[in-house]
Amino acid sequence: MTSNWWVAPAVVIAALALMRVFYVLRARAMRGFASRWGFQYIGPGAPRSWWWNPPDLETRPPVPAWISHLHPRIRQVWNVIEGERNGVSVLIFDSIVGEYRGGQPCTHIAVRVEQNPFGTVSSADKVEQSHGWTVLHGVRFLWFSWTMGPRQLADHLDELRSE
């Protein structure tokens, strides 16, 4: 009789490796996006704890303190990009949102304006105002949040209008 004790650890290791590859590819895509739009990529390229989610907000790049008050609760921030579009300050970042140690990845586009400058947003996106900023949370699908791809980010920034 053969023992398959190694299967469960191998699956866990493979899942962690795939997650790491995702973070590396995502950081590369975000750096490219920042470069194409003339924005500054601040980083870091991956969450500090990429195999578990901390219970409290962890940030290394400079992000406004009010970010911790957005709903759903933000616990980690990475792939921070800042710049200006149509005279409006823009801050883009990936995060882990949720309560306790669970959570889901989510991309946020924050613009320093009081009114919603994004025009119409889909029902999968959420817009919130906080401390003089308007924040677009995306994308919700099948009851989970996901990161926005560079094409979605570009589409939202193309819609950005200063008022």
- Contact yes or no for 136/109 (Cβ under 8 A): yes
Identity of the residue numbered 122: S
Asked whether 97 and 104 are in contact (CB, 8 A), the reply is: yes
Is residue 34 within 8 Å of residue 55, measured between CB atoms? no
Contacting residues for 149 by C-beta, under 8 A, at least 6 apart: 29
Helix (H, G, I), strand (E, B) or coil at 29: helix
- Give the DSSP letter string of 97-116: ESSTT--EEEEEEEES-SS-
- What are the pLDDT tens digits along the chain (163 aa)? 567 888 888 888 888 788 788 888 889 999 999 999 999 999 887 776 655 555 556 555 567 777 766 766 777 888 999 999 888 899 999 888 776 666 778 899 999 987 888 776 666 678 888 888 888 887 665 555 677 889 989 988 888 765 5
pLDDT computed for residue 141 by the predictor? 58
Please report the pLDDT score of residue 119 as a whole number. 73
- The Cβ of residue 72 has, within 10 Å, a number of other Cβ atoms equal to 16
Domain boundaries, the chain: 7-159
Distances (CA, A) of 88 to 32, 64, 123, 128, 133: 21, 16, 24, 17, 10
pLDDT at 37: 95
**Per-residue model confidence (pLDDT) at position 143:** 53
The answer to whether 76 touches 47, Cβ cutoff 8 Å, is yes
**pLDDT number for residue 84:** 93
Give pLDDT, residue 30: 93
